[in-house]
Every structure is written in C-alpha cells, then in structure tokens.
C-alpha cells in the first residue's frame, strides 16, 4: 500500500523540476515579478480604483521618472558600485531645466540637451573620482550628494522666485510633462524605448558584457583586457544622464523647484534596485529587474499614500523593505548553489522483479562459468579505459582511452600501438560507416567522425531542444553508443541529460528516465531526438530487418527494440527485461545473433533501495559519493542473445582478475575482443566454433577489395 503511494508520487509529482527551475537564472527575476503581482492584487483589493486607467496613467508617469533613475542606479550597481548622489543630481537637473527654460528662455530642444549634459557632467564628477582615481563609491557619492545638494540650495536662493514667476507656454514642453500617445504617457513611451535598448545593451552588446564582467570580478575583467576604469567612469556618466532624463520629465510635469525636490530619492531608488534583484555585490542584474523593482516600490508608496498613511511611516516601510531585500539578496547569493545541489537530485521509484539465478548449480542461461579465465591480454598497462573496442577490415584494433585518444593496435599481434586520433574527451561507443569513417561517441562532447587518415571532425554536438523540459537539453552531455542505418543515419544513445559523464552514479541514484536516443543524419547534417525518458540507454545495434535498432537500458536492466522505418515505424517493443545485470554495449555476432556486455550485476540491497526514493535522497545528501550504495560494476559477463529475447550463451570470469568489468565486446575472425571502461587492458578470447572469417564491417557494408 505504502509502496503504491511512493510509486504514484514518483510518477506524477515532478520533483526533479524544482532543482532545474532554481538553477535557471530567470528565477531571480521571477521572484520580484511574483512580488509585484501580489502587491498589485493586494492593493487593488484594498483601494477601490487603484488599477483604474487614470490611476495607472498617473502611476506610469511617476514610474517613468523614477524608472530612469533606477536604470542609472542599476547600471552603477551592476558594475560594482553605488550612486547615492542621484537625489541631489535629480534636483540640480530639475533646476537646470527650469532655469534654462524660464529664466534664460532657451528653446525646448536646447533645454533638453543642456539638462542631459548637466546630468552627464555631474555623473562624470563621480565617474572620474571613482573610476580613475579609484575612490570608494559609497563615500564619494555620499560626499557628492552633499556638495550637489548644497549647490542646489545656493542656486535656489534668488532664482526660485524667478522660476516660479514665469509661466512658459510651449506645446512641446507640455507634451513632455503631460502628453500621451494612445493613452500611454510620453514618459512611459520613452522609458519603454530606453528599457528595450538597455536590455539589448546589457545582454547582447559588448560594453554591456564588459559592465557585467567588471561587476562580477574587477580583477579578472582587468586581466582579460577590459578597460575597467573607463567603463566604470562611463557608467556613472550614464547614471547622471539617465537621472537628468527623469528630472526633465519631472520638471515638465510640475515646473517647480522646491527645497524638497529629490530628497530621499536615493533610498527609494536603491530599494527599487535591490528589490528587483540587482545584487549589491555587482555583476548581476537586468532591466526587467529594475522595472519590477521600480513598480513594486511605486505601488507600495502610492498605495500607502492613498491609504492616508503618514509620510514618516511611508519612509519607514520603504526602509524596512530595503533591509529585508538586501538580507535576502545576500543570503540567496551565498547559498544558491548549496540549495540547488541539495534539491537537484530527485530519486524516482524504480521496481525490478527478483532477477533470474546466476549461481552455479541453479541452471538457467546466466549460470556462471569460468570461460573468460584464459583470455589473452592486449595493451596491458598501456591503455586506460577502453570503453569500446572495434576492428577494421584490415584486422587492426581500435580502442578509446581516458586521455581523449583513440589508440590503434596493429594486426596481427596487436603489440604495436599508436595514437590514431586525439579528440580530447573520453571515447565511448564506436562504429565504422560504409566509407570506413570511424564514428565515435565522446562523453561530454558529442558525436565525432574520424576519417581513415585520422582526421577528426565533429559530426554533431546538439539536438533539438525539448519544448517541455526546463533544462536546456539541446547540448549532448553523455553520448554513449551508436550504430549506423543503411542510408547512413546514425542512431546514438545519450545516457542522461541531467548529469555529466563523471556524475553517472548520481543518475544511478536517481534511476529516473533521463536518457534518450538521438538520430544524426549526415546527408542533411541534422540531428533530432527520437526517443525520450529512457533509464540510462547505452548499447545500440541495428537489427536484422535494417529498420529497427536494439538498445540496452542499463539501469532499466532491459533490451528494447525501436523501429525507425517500415510499417512499425516509431514503435518500441521490449526484447528482454529483468536481466540479472546492467546491460551495456550490443554488437553483432557472426551467427546473426548479438553479443551483449553486462557491465555489472544487480545486488538485492540496491534493488530494494531503488524502490525507496526517499532513502536514496537522504543517502545522496548525507553520504559522500565514495560511500554510496552503487550498482555493482566490478563483476560482469558477456551474453549472446537473439532478437526473440532468448539468452543463448554466457561467458564469465569468475575470479574477476582479468576483466572485473566488461563494457563492450566485438567479434572478429573467431575471437571476441573485450573492453572495459575501468580496465587497463583489452581481452582477446578464442570463440569455439565461430566463423573464422567473420569481419563485422565486411558483413555490414559488403566486402571491399
């Protein structure tokens, strides 16, 4: 009963998604967005007409003005600084705009240019001090805050009356202050344009990347040749200019120069920045975050004002929010990776019936024997990690090594060895095509093609992205084994899409269908996924009808058949299941049957653990990988089976001395060649009664002279 519940939960509750979602960068933007929606809904419930068009238009106007300042602040924070002087700059720019317009009587375009230039100049003061003279951002802008504010107060004396007295009447000026296009306020329109540009700038353009890089690590950015000082200085200039734009709209809307203009603005803006999720430490942030933060802060302040909360409390609320947001920001930044690594691994329920017997004396096709005791060894101590072995038409032997090479052993005695090709990743399954090109799956890299002269080419390293998967599964993480159809299409398995090759035990701990089978068509140079949700798919071999493949699911302990052509196209059938071990590579035998490597054998304790996902989850968290309960891959065997799913023969190495692990085998001229990914040797076993002239790729592609 309880087990049924566990099974049900494991099947329908997608707990592997939590880790995948949290590891997405966009969750950091999603959280402020959710807060924004919650705030908007809560306030619209509390205040009638809060979200009415008129109210929204008014909010949008203020949002635009503050929004520009937040954009500037965001930029400075991303580059790793802070700008406390925005409030004073805002006031000075407001004064500049109104003085030029009302007292000097300049035309509106000239006023706009002058104001922005004024803001940029003020920002440049900060920029030079912080960027070039390398003063601390916090203390510098605190000082400029005071200086700019004092300047403003001094200028105000004598001029405020002049400004207040004049009543300029320019339609363009009024449009800036209160106009709209299709109901959208002018300020919001410009904000949208600037925001879109800002987004492209930060995410797609070189200077934007420089800014993020400097914020992330100033020293690394400097070492990689980024002009750190200039970029920082320019960010402060941009902050000043953006503040000036905000001030311009403010001036046009209200036309006043009071003593309280811009006072406390830096707190509002900083709150918006941090609340949006722009990290104070620098290096992280986006325009969307700045926008979300601006709207949250504005909705809250406006909401509180409408609810007749007194100004003091209003500020207090804002400051408290800033404190909480900064705290969450710090904690999240520190613990993000830890949290993700804790929730990412999500074991699933995996039931296997009791396995068939293997013990001597119990009979059955898997009964142990000692046939592999007398294998001769090739390349002992000279090759490491030959996952697959393959022989060409001229009897030469090829095997991968963990140094990222494909080694070639020369016939007839296989004692001479050389590096055939260097690829750089661990070579796994291999197959020859019609033209003697060697196709090889490389763990962590993809599918590679090696020409007979040893030239290495990438065939494919990506496939179509699944629509519904959260993780981007277009890149190949663990291409494992392959075989080639008559028309040249290559079917290869990818063992897992959630982990890297060295993390295969984690995938075993999860025992979830994370693997897939992918088809690469060299004729069109296209790649697409054909089967998903497989439990560590591994060996692949073309079946006798040439319209289907046989594939092994290692942790599923089964062999299945998939038709890619013909009347049964697209269907999957089980050939064998409940194997006593973990199947690995499949290859053709001379009598038309198939060799299958069992890389390891099942143990009852792991079979039970696979039925208890929570036990494994805790094991994964509490124990180091070296202490985990593993699939036993220290003992394996080779079996021969046919397409009806019958086991015909099994070959064992009882002592496990020569071949503790067998991941692949290849029949060639009456011998069986054995490879193992944790071995430092290749085995050669004399097959009794096998066709002494059998050459797999002569048979597959027709004999060539």
Partner 1 sequence: MIPALREFAHRFLGRGEGAITVPPFDGALKPNQTLEHAEIVATLPTAEDLATDGSALYVADGQAVLQMDGASLAPVRQFEQPLTALCVLPDGRLAVALAGREVRVFAPGDSSDIVISGEGMTAVNALAPGRNGTLLATDGSTDLPYAEWGRDLLSRGRSGRLLSVDPASRKIEVVASGLRYAFGAAASGDTTLVSESWRHRLIAVSAKGDIKPVFDHLPVYPSRLTPAVGGGFWMTAFTARTQLIEFVLREAAYRRRMMAEIDPEFWIVPRLTAGHSFREPMQGAHLKTMGIIKPWAPPRSYGLVVRLGADYAPLYSLHSRVDGSNHGVVAAVEVADSLYVLAKGPGRLLRLKLSDIKSEVGA
Lay out the site mask for partner 1 across 490-509 (x = CB under 8 A, - = otherwise).
Answer: ---------------x----
Classified as helix, coil or strand, 541 is: strand
Classified as helix, coil or strand, 34 is: helix
Contact (Cβ atoms closer than 8 angstroms) between residue 469 and residue 453? no
Contact (Cβ atoms closer than 8 angstroms) between residue 668 and residue 391? yes
Of 417, 458, 425, the C-alpha closest to 442 is 425
Interactions with partner 1, residue window 639-668 (CB under 8 A): 656-657, 660-661
Give ∠ CA 585-536-663 in degrees, rounded to 5: 25
| Residue listed under structure tokens 């720019």 | 93
Peptide bond before residue 359 is cis, with ω within 30 degrees of 0: no
Residue 385 φ/ψ region, left for φ over 0, alpha for ψ in the -120 to 50 degree band, beta for the rest? left
Residue 646 beta carbon to partner 1: minimum distance, rounded to whole angstroms: 23
Give the number of other Cβ atoms within 10 Å of residue 207's Cβ.
13
The backbone torsions φ and ψ at residue 358, rounded to the nearest 5 degrees and listed phi first, read -125, -10
The backbone torsions φ and ψ at residue 185, rounded to the nearest 5 degrees and listed phi first, read -60, 150
Q: Retrieve residue 700's tokens.
A: 């597959």
Segment near partner 1 (CB under 8 A); pick from 31-39, 479-487, 553-561, 616-624:
616-624
Question: Can residue 608 be called a binding residue for partner 1 (CB under 8 A)?
Answer: yes
Task: Please pick, from the candidates 23, 44, 632, 642, the single residue that binds partner 1 as defined by CB under 8 A.
Answer: 632
| Residue listed under structure tokens 């590679």 | 448
The backbone torsions φ and ψ at residue 475, rounded to the nearest 5 degrees and listed phi first, read -80, 145
Question: Can residue 399 be called a binding residue for partner 1 (CB under 8 A)?
Answer: no
For partner 1, the closer of residues 212 and 658 by Cβ is 658
Residue 375 beta carbon to partner 1: minimum distance, rounded to whole angstroms: 13
Residues pairing with 560 in the sheet? 551, 574
Classified as helix, coil or strand, 52 is: coil
Task: Please pick, from the candidates 530, 615, 649, 684, the single residue that binds partner 1 as defined by CB under 8 A.
Answer: 615
Of 241, 285, 239, the C-alpha closest to 96 is 241
Residue 139 beta carbon to partner 1: minimum distance, rounded to whole angstroms: 42
Residue 628 beta carbon to partner 1: minimum distance, rounded to whole angstroms: 5
Residue 614 beta carbon to partner 1: minimum distance, rounded to whole angstroms: 9
Question: Can residue 606 be called a binding residue for partner 1 (CB under 8 A)?
Answer: yes
Q: How many residues bind partner 1 (CB under 8 A)?
A: 38
Segment near partner 1 (CB under 8 A); pick from 101-109, 307-315, 527-535, 614-622:
614-622
Residues 659, 119: Cα–Cα separation, whole Å: 75
Interactions with partner 1, residue window 78-137 (CB under 8 A): none
Residues 49, 377: Cα–Cα separation, whole Å: 84
Residues 378, 389: Cα–Cα separation, whole Å: 11
Segment near partner 1 (CB under 8 A); pick from 78-86, 297-305, 488-496, 613-621:
613-621
Residue 504 beta carbon to partner 1: minimum distance, rounded to whole angstroms: 11
* Residues 6 or more apart whose Cβ sits within 8 Å of residue 422: 404, 405, 406, 456
Segment near partner 1 (CB under 8 A); pick from 16-24, 433-441, 555-563, 606-614:
606-614
Segment near partner 1 (CB under 8 A); pick from 56-64, 69-77, 414-422, 611-619:
611-619
Residue 9 beta carbon to partner 1: minimum distance, rounded to whole angstroms: 15
Classified as helix, coil or strand, 424 is: coil
Task: Please pick, from the candidates 602, 617, 666, 668, the single residue that binds partner 1 as defined by CB under 8 A.
Answer: 602
For partner 1, the closer of residues 135 and 619 by Cβ is 619
Lay out the site mask for partner 1 across 351-390 (x = CB under 8 A, - = otherwise).
Answer: ---------------------------------x------
For partner 1, the closer of residues 1 and 657 by Cβ is 657
Task: Please pick, from the candidates 633, 638, 651, 672, the single residue that binds partner 1 as defined by CB under 8 A.
Answer: 633
Question: Can residue 603 be called a binding residue for partner 1 (CB under 8 A)?
Answer: yes
Residue 312 φ/ψ region, left for φ over 0, alpha for ψ in the -120 to 50 degree band, beta for the rest? alpha
* Residues 6 or more apart whose Cβ sits within 8 Å of residue 622: none
The backbone torsions φ and ψ at residue 549, rounded to the nearest 5 degrees and listed phi first, read -120, 150
- Biggest CA-to-CA distance, the chain: 112
Helices (H), 205-286: 206-216, 218-223, 228-254, 265-276
Task: Please pick, from the candidates 493, 635, 663, 696, the single residue that binds partner 1 as defined by CB under 8 A.
Answer: 635
Lay out the site mask for partner 1 across 665-684 (x = CB under 8 A, - = otherwise).
Answer: -------------xxxx---
Segment near partner 1 (CB under 8 A); pick from 125-133, 239-247, 623-631, 692-700:
623-631
For partner 1, the closer of residues 191 and 344 by Cβ is 344
Which DSSP symbol is given to 463?
-
Residues 485, 282: Cα–Cα separation, whole Å: 53
Residues pairing with 456 in the sheet? 450
Task: Give the torsion sign (CA, 434, 440, 446, 451).
Answer: negative
Question: Can residue 205 be called a binding residue for partner 1 (CB under 8 A)?
Answer: no
For partner 1, the closer of residues 345 and 601 by Cβ is 601
Question: Can residue 609 be called a binding residue for partner 1 (CB under 8 A)?
Answer: yes
Task: Please pick, from the candidates 48, 361, 412, 604, the single residue that binds partner 1 as defined by CB under 8 A.
Answer: 604
Residue 609 beta carbon to partner 1: minimum distance, rounded to whole angstroms: 7
For partner 1, the closer of residues 356 and 670 by Cβ is 356
Interactions with partner 1, residue window 256-295 (CB under 8 A): none
Residue 629 beta carbon to partner 1: minimum distance, rounded to whole angstroms: 6
Task: Please pick, from the candidates 428, 599, 601, 665, the single residue that binds partner 1 as defined by CB under 8 A.
Answer: 601
For partner 1, the closer of residues 389 and 391 by Cβ is 389
For partner 1, the closer of residues 479 and 506 by Cβ is 506
For partner 1, the closer of residues 452 and 656 by Cβ is 656
For partner 1, the closer of residues 384 and 577 by Cβ is 384
Residue 626 beta carbon to partner 1: minimum distance, rounded to whole angstroms: 4
Q: Retrieve residue 298's tokens.
A: 């504005």
For partner 1, the closer of residues 453 and 626 by Cβ is 626
Question: Can residue 627 be called a binding residue for partner 1 (CB under 8 A)?
Answer: yes
Query: 313-335 burial by CB neighbour count: b if 16+ within 10 A, else e?
Result: ebeeebeebbeebbeebeeeeee
Segment near partner 1 (CB under 8 A); pick from 231-239, 280-288, 480-488, 599-607:
599-607
Residues 72, 74: Cα–Cα separation, whole Å: 5
Question: Can residue 623 be called a binding residue for partner 1 (CB under 8 A)?
Answer: yes
Task: Please pick, from the candidates 628, 643, 684, 700, the single residue that binds partner 1 as defined by CB under 8 A.
Answer: 628
| Residue listed under structure tokens 């929010």 | 321
For partner 1, the closer of residues 679 and 696 by Cβ is 679
What ranges make up the beta strands (E) of 80-199? 180-181, 184-185
Query: 653-673 burial by CB neighbour count: b if 16+ within 10 A, else e?
Result: beeeebbbbbbbbbbbbebbb
Which residues contact partner 1 (rule: CB under 8 A)? Answer: 384, 505, 600-606, 608-609, 612, 615, 618-619, 621-635, 656-657, 660-661, 678-681
């Amino acid at each position: 009963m309880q087990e049924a519940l566990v099974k049900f939960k494991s099947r329908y509750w997608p707990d592997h998604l939590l880790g995948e979602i949290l590891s997405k960068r966009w969750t950091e933007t999603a959280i402020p967005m959710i807060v924004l929606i919650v705030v908007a809904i809560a306030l619209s419930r509390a205040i009638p007409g809060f979200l009415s068009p008129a109210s929204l238009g008014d909010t949008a106007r203020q949002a635009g003005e503050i929004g520009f300042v937040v954009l500037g602040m965001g930029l400075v924070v991303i580059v790793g600084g802070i700008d406390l002087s925005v409030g004073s700059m805002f006031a000075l720019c407001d004064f500049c705009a109104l003085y030029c317009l009302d007292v000097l009587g300049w035309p509106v375009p000239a006023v706009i240019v002058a104001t922005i230039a004024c803001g940029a100049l003020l920002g440049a003061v900060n920029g030079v001090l912080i960027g070039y003279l390398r003063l601390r951002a916090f203390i510098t802008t605190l000082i400029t805050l005071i200086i700019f504010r004092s300047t403003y107060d001094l200028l105000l004396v004598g001029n405020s009356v002049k400004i207040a007295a004049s009543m300029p009447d320019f339609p363009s000026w009024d449009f800036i202050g209160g106009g709209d296009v299709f109901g959208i306020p002018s300020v919001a329109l410009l904000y949208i344009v600037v925001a879109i540009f800002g987004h492209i700038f930060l995410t797609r353009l070189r200077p934007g990347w420089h800014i993020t890089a400097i914020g992330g690590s100033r020293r690394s950015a400097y070492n990689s040749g980024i002009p750190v000082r200039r970029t920082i200085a320019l960010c402060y200039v941009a902050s000043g200019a953006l503040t000036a734009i905000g001030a311009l709209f403010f001036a046009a809307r209200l036309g006043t120069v009071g003593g309280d203009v811009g006072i406390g603005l830096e707190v509002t803006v900083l709150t918006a920045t941090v609340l949006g999720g722009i990290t104070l430490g620098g290096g992280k942030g986006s325009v969307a975050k700045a926008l979300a933060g601006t709207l949250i802060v504005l909705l809250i302040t406006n909401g509180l004002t409408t609810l007749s909360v007194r100004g003091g409390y209003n500020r207090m609320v804002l400051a408290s929010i800033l404190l909480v947001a900064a705290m969450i920001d710090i904690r999240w930044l520190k613990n993000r990776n830890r949290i993700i690594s804790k929730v990412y691994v999500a074991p699933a329920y995996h039931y296997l019936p009791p396995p068939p017997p293997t013990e001597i004396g119990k009979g059955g096709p898997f009964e142990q024997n000692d046939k592999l005791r007398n294998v001769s060894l090739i390349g002992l101590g000279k090759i490491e990690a030959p996952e697959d072995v393959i022989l060409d038409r001229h009897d030469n032997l090829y095997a991968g090594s963990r140094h990222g090479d494909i080694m070639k052993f020369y016939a007839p005695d296989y004692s001479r060895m050389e590096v055939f090709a260097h690829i750089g990743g661990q070579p796994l399954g291999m197959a020859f095509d019609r033209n003697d090109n060697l196709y090889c799956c490389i763990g962590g890299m993809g599918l590679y093609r090696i020409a007979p002269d040893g030239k290495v080419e990438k065939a494919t390293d990506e496939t179509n992205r699944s629509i519904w998967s959260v993780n981007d599964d277009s890149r190949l993480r663990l291409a494992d084994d392959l075989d080639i159809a008559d028309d040249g299409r290559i079917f290869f398995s990818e063992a897992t899409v959630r982990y890297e090759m060295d993390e295969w035990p984690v995938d075993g701990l999860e025992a979830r269908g994370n693997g897939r089978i992918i088809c690469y068509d060299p004729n069109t140079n296209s790649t697409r996924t054909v089967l998903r949700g497989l439990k560590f798919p591994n060996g692949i071999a073309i079946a006798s009808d040439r319209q289907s493949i046989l594939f092994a699911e290692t942790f599923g302990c089964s062999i299945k058949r998939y038709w890619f052509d013909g009347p049964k196209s697209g269907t999957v059938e089980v050939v064998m299941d409940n194997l006593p071990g973990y199947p690995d590579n499949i290859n053709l035998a001379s009598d038309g049957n198939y060799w299958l490597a069992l890389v390891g054998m099942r143990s009852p304790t792991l079979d039970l653990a696979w039925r208890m996902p929570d036990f494994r989850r805790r094991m994964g968290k509490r124990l180091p990988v070296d202490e985990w309960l593993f699939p036993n891959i220290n003992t394996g065997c080779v079996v021969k089976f046919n397409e009806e799913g019958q086991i015909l023969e099994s070959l064992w190495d009882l002592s496990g001395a020569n071949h503790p692990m067998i991941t692949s085998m290849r029949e060639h001229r009456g011998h069986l060649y054995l490879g193992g990914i944790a071995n430092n040797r290749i085995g050669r076993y004399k097959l009794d009664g096998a066709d002494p002239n059998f050459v797999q790729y002569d048979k597959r592609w027709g004999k060539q002279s």
